[in-house]
Amino acid sequence: MHLSLGFSPCPNDTFIFDAIVNNKIDTQGLTFDTQLEDVETLNRWALEGKLPVTKLSFAVYLKVRDKYDLLNSGSALGRGCGPLLIAKKDIPREEIKNLTIAIPGENTTANLLFSIAFPEATHKKVMVFSDIENAVLNGDVDAGVIIHENRFTYQLKGLVKLMDMGEYWESTTGNPIPLGGIFIRKDIPAETRAQVDALIHKSLQHAYSEYPQLSDYIKSHAQEMDEQVMRQHIDLYVNDFSLDLGQEGHAAVDALMTAAEKIASR
């Protein structure tokens, strides 16, 4: 069976899927063509049900539950790995509602977590995640919600953290932060869904067996990062939850879905 598979070019995703994509493990008769896109593009495609298997922000899960099921393997979920709200200077929390905030996509978990913490902040500007730092520096926006490798670079550019959105989520709910997961369309046969889930688990196990060595596949899609940043990225976003969400992981996702329903009903 042939399936289209979508995920981001970020090191955490290429680390997880390297062995599947490059035939380093037995894919048991399944073949994949890959579409590497920014997660917000994948989120939009999922609203149309475009890809059979795809990485998605957990924030969009509420909108696609009629089309997709969540797999147990491949997720980005953990503690201390949430998005950050950054600016050029420190800004009192009570003033944030009046600012223009750059967000890395309307359907991203980053935007949802920001909305949970600052429900009155509605002046948002959607941008590609990698453009947000410069938009803040240039004064195009007052502040920005950053994700991915920008967690490791914003201070080098003289920017300051106003809030760690993940810490806010953890402190108010006690749950780890569900950022993104791997989803499979409901029209895929159950046996194939289980097979894909098991392959992702096996692919990640293979990646860990070679770590901290980074494959050319990972490095080729992270051209602007040095290897230290790539490893920081992987260490932050790939963990035991990526191998299997388990009861704690699924409970965290459910808690985020409840929060998303409250936001949607406003």
List the binding residues. 55-57, 109-110
Is residue 177 within 8 Å of 47, Cβ to Cβ?
no
Per the residue annotation, which of 148, 201, 221, 250 is the catalytic one?
148
Of 94, 102, 60, the closest CA to residue 264 belongs to 60
Cα(60)–Cα(141) distance, rounded to whole angstroms? 25
Is residue 51 within 8 Å of 3, Cβ to Cβ?
no
| Residues of each annotated binding site for substrate | 55-57, 109-110
Enter the DSSP assignment of 175.
P
Instruction: Return the residue matching tokens 């800004």.
Output: 91
Is residue 148 part of the annotated active site? The answer reads yes
For residue 141, give every residue at least 6 positions away whose Cβ sits within 8 Å of its Cβ, in sequence order, or none: 99, 100, 101, 102, 125, 127, 132, 135
Is 67 strand, coil or helix?
coil
Cα(179)–Cα(122) distance, rounded to whole angstroms? 21
Of 4, 15, 42, the closest CA to residue 180 belongs to 42
Of 107, 103, 244, 257, the closest CA to residue 173 belongs to 257
- CB-CB neighbours of 110 under 10 Å: 29
Sheet strands (E) in 37-142: 53-57, 68-70, 76-78, 84-87, 101-103, 124-126
Active-site residue list: 148
